[in-house]
Chain A
């Protein structure tokens, strides 16, 4: 396990900033509970993933350079998103390849973590002292699951939340059909994937659907509310932070 970092930064992510500030607040609260006062660098906006996945790596690279500059002074960067962390880790070195930025990006990417991954793998903490007396189904994002290999971290911290009962999905590894640009280029296929995911959730006794990524969560929530299904959707940080 890496050393316990001193200076920790929160990367809020653009979706959280715009759609769910409570996720950022939850993250800060969780970190505080484990004894870390995270800073929120003012220059941050977006990691650039949407631009990259839309086919504009040069534009994404502009954001990547900014991001690296903003976060490299810190010992660790924590984000409430497996997807953004995967972008920093997997794609920053590629979009910045061949420039001095590549090495800088690799260095800071090594210290960048998704929230539950940070708790479990860096701090060695599973129990953050949260309480949430509900039955919860977890949708770890595909990036959380496959790029970071950290779906088990999210599960581990949820299991230690007081009162929380984690119910199993039949296909926890199935994509919810979001995929950013994919969901609007091919809405029919995306919706078909979403339908199956929601069916899987509905077949359980879950009262709350929790995800590690706001992108997936907004997609799932949009599908649920369109179907008129009342099921709370919460981000992992909101559950752990108990906001």
Chain B
């Protein structure tokens, strides 16, 4: 997570000058959004599922301590180990320790946002352990030293030619290789990694408190390899991922998969409960669950932002966001991009990106409309703006707001001020400053009407 204090303006301004980026993003997001609409419309009770999911999440978060303890007990009862990590450093250090104790030199990973969040790969490399990303998109991110720019399509910002060139350099494929050749090369490369790895690291889409189960939703089958070939499986998950009962998956799986990729069901859904048991043929010798807080309990204690913890990372909100589409994921300066990223980043970090991310939205509300758990993202962005309004950076705006409110609460004075504004208008139009100048970059300034309505009405 590279910080970006006032970075969104610059990064988004650069992004809008790159039509290829826009095209690349749009091709994927439009496709995902169209399929989402199709497959959600198929389920007549989709909105009922959404309401149900919302209630389950609210209930679970309100009783999170209890469900986490239940989860821990269930995982232990099945022979797994549970670790608690307060922050990113603790989480990364914990995984490194597990890998060291397992004598691991190489580890394979499946796609996981939380391991990006805690910068696990960096910690592993520093400890002399080589992580290999096995999700195709994440693999490309890794070999190009890049960062994911979308929750489920991490290389949405890359064109096919970029990927072909990367593969030519790293895997020796021909420069003009078609996609099947590229994927075959990646598969051959990754197969070696799977066979050589001592530890497999995954995230978790859901954790089931009742049974101690880790649920992984994927399409490439790599997560299944990651969790079955190496001796040790480490699942890293944010504490908000817990669901009370196995039956809750009947609500959340269709919501997640249909909202995310627009499939009816993903190619693979793995329910993993503990290490290989006696008499079982598959599975790792040891299973570790690392539960990461890293700001989540702060968000939980925050009534205005708590709802953000209900997010299932489906990416539907990104795929309909007109700002994300044009700014691209990297502009958000965080692993979490798009509308929910603009909430999560300042929320989880206690304020990073607060001065710009909450404003990186026209508040059009498309995100709220599609969110499978009905998260009020615009409402939270407005709440975060209020916090931005209290920062030192906003002291002039704060003063201006106070004056404006004072004036607008005095209708008569305001009507007189309107007259004065008309006297000043020609000057302001000639040399627009501040916000007016930023408006006037690409749009003509509107003209005040010669007489305001209220004044004309009084005459």
Contact = CB atoms under 8 A, between A and B. Distances in A.
Is the interface on chain B under 10, 10 to 19, 20 to 34, or 35 or more residues?
A: 35 or more
Given A12-B454, A189-B323, A175 B362 contact: yes
A85 to B, nearest CB: 14
B180 interface: no
Contacts of A179: 361-364
Contacts of B192: none
Contact of B439 (A145, A173, A222): A222
B443 A222 contact: yes
B13 interface: yes
Contacts of B293: none
B196 interface: no
Given A185-B356, A188-B13, A59 B365 contact: no
Interface string A198-234: 0000000000000000000011011101100000000
Q: Number of contact residues on A: which range applies?
A: 35 or more
Secondary structure of the A contact surface, majority rule: helix
A91 interface: yes
Nearest to B321: A175
B445 A222 contact: yes
Interface stretch (A47-55, A125-133, A150-158): A47-55
Contact of A222 (B326, B387, B446): B446
B360 A186 contact: yes
Given A18-B418, A175-B366, A191 B401 contact: no
Main secondary structure of the interface of B (DSSP, over half): helix
B405 A62 contact: yes
A143 B411 CA distance: 26
B453 A146 contact: no
B453 A24 contact: yes
A18 B449 contact: yes
A45 B362 contact: no
Given A63-B405, A226-B443, A192 B385 contact: no
A60 interface: yes
Contact of A60 (B12, B390, B405): B405
Contact of B438 (A20, A21, A51, A184): A184
Given A19-B449, A178-B362, A226 B12 contact: no
**Max chain A C-beta neighbours (<10 A), residue from B411, B418, B456:** B411
A146 B359 contact: no
Contacts of A51: 401, 404-405
Nearest to A173: B366
Given A12-B453, A40-B457, A177-B322, A59 B443 contact: no
A192 B443 CA distance: 11
A100 interface: no
Contacts of B356: 185
Interface in A90-147: 90-91, 94, 142-143, 145-147
16 contacts: A20-B449, A25-B453, A42-B411, A55-B397, A56-B398, A56-B405, A57-B389, A66-B409, A174-B322, A177-B322, A189-B13, A193-B322, A193-B362, A219-B443, A222-B443, A226-B444
Interface of B: 8-9, 12-13, 16, 322-323, 326-327, 356, 358-366, 368-369, 379, 382, 385-390, 394, 397-398, 401-402, 404-405, 408-409, 411, 414, 418, 421, 435-436, 438-439, 441-449, 451-454, 456-457
